[in-house]
Amino acid sequence: MKLRWFFVATLIVNQSFAQPDINLTGSESNLLEYSAAFLDINTNSRLGGFGEVGTVTSPFYKNAGVYQNPALISNNGQFAGINAFYEPWLKNIVSDVNLYGISGFYAADSSNALAINFTYFNLGEINYTDNNGYYIGTDKSYEYFIKLAYSRSFNKSISAGIALKFFKSKIASALIDVNTIHSISFDFGLSYQHQYNLNNKSFLNTNAGLALTNLGPRISYVEGEKDFIPQKLSLGLFINPDIYIHKNFRFNIELGYQAEKYLVPTPPAYDFDGNITNGYDPDISSLKALYQSFYDAPGGFDEEINEIKHKFGSEFRLSFLDYGYIAFRHGRHLEHETKGNRNYQTFGYGIGLYGFMLDYMKIKAENDSPLHGTWILTAGYSFNLDKSHLRF
């Protein structure tokens, strides 16, 4: 029961259990606080194996825009597809917490595309007892969102996208009264892609992308307290040599980098009377946080730089015509020690045949990290609408 409540409490205010009561300098651990952290969890095996880089992608993967950057959806030509995933979450801490969901996209032409994504976060059950220890009932905790996205390509290189999320968060608690949350958030994205000819049969695909995700109002789990949701800015760069090696085979090397910064207030430094001595008042609107978050850290510019997370991804893929492929992936997630110290590697594998895809990824972190061993399995089907056969 105590472990369950500790786990639930960290979901109500992300990372709050590690936050010092009084921040004396910007060099000390000074974690950002936000709620509804499930909005920011990666749920796609391919992106996960690729270091969770998803603001940019290659032309080969048609569903990448469903997740982090809606601008990528309309770069598909006339494609459609569907994906389903399953992810046990923090299985080293709790055994009955998991995420699962389904998504789909449809690009009727090369300029316009739509996508939908449903994700459900099962947080397990809490058993209630009376003062004598007798069982009196059970309550469930869960969260979910439904995301609707639209993307438009203005030419072969530039595209933009927007997405709307409806989400609900119900956290069961035997210790305090917790409000059930119903709210919305928005995603915006831009993408620039260009293909260079290396020779008559080989190409170099490049992509630069920007995404603003989870922009929305503050929410309140506990009366009198308002929390931010994980508003975030992501910038990505991508390069992909697509090499002809045989009339039936192509070899691809994909390399990606993504920088991320949460657009929420940095907790200021306080004196022992609770007065702010350095930094800015964090009790502001979510709109003001979009720009104040760039200069409000009590540690100044150095602390602002420390708030940037770095993600690196690589993939090696061998394709056989448009019939199938096999892929191997590796990624790195780097976060400063004063901002959470969530540093880990990701490994992933993928196989596709006649439009069917199966992808798997796993996180390797220090053994005492709750993320160590987390894995995702994704199955999907994608087909080309402007061909007589339904393949990649």
Spell out the domain ranges in the chain. Answer: 2-16+30-384
Closest CA to 56 of 241, 211, 207, 232: 207
User: What's the pTM?
Assistant: 0.90
Distance CA 211, CA 191 (A): 9
Q: Among candidates 256, 259, 264, which has minimal Cα distance to 210?
A: 259
Topology adopted by domain 2-16+30-384: Porin (2.40.160)
- Angstrom distance (rounded) from CA 126 to CA 5: 9
> Which residues are within 8 A (CB) of 199 and not within 5 positions of it... i.e. 6 or more apart?
244
SS3 track for 300-346? HHHHHHHCCEEEEEEEEEEEECCCEEEEEEEEEEECCHHHCCCCEEE
SS3 64: helix
Tallying the residues shown for the chain, one arrives at 392
323: left (phi over 0), alpha (psi -120 to 50) or beta: alpha
DSSP run (H or E) holding 3:
helix 2-12
Compute CA distances 142 → 136, 170, 367, whole Å.
20, 5, 27
**pLDDT (tens digit, 0 to 9) for every residue of the chain, 392 residues total?**
444 545 555 555 555 334 343 444 445 789 999 999 999 999 999 999 999 999 999 988 878 899 999 999 987 677 899 999 999 988 878 888 999 999 999 998 889 999 999 999 998 877 766 666 677 677 789 999 999 999 999 999 999 999 999 999 998 776 677 899 999 999 999 999 999 999 989 999 999 999 999 999 999 999 889 999 999 999 999 999 999 998 899 999 999 999 999 999 999 999 998 899 999 999 999 999 999 999 999 999 999 999 999 999 999 999 998 899 999 999 999 999 999 999 999 999 999 999 999 999 999 997 678 889 999 999 999 888 776 555 66
11 C-beta neighbours (distance < 10 Å), count:
19
Which tokens belong to 26?
A: 């910007």
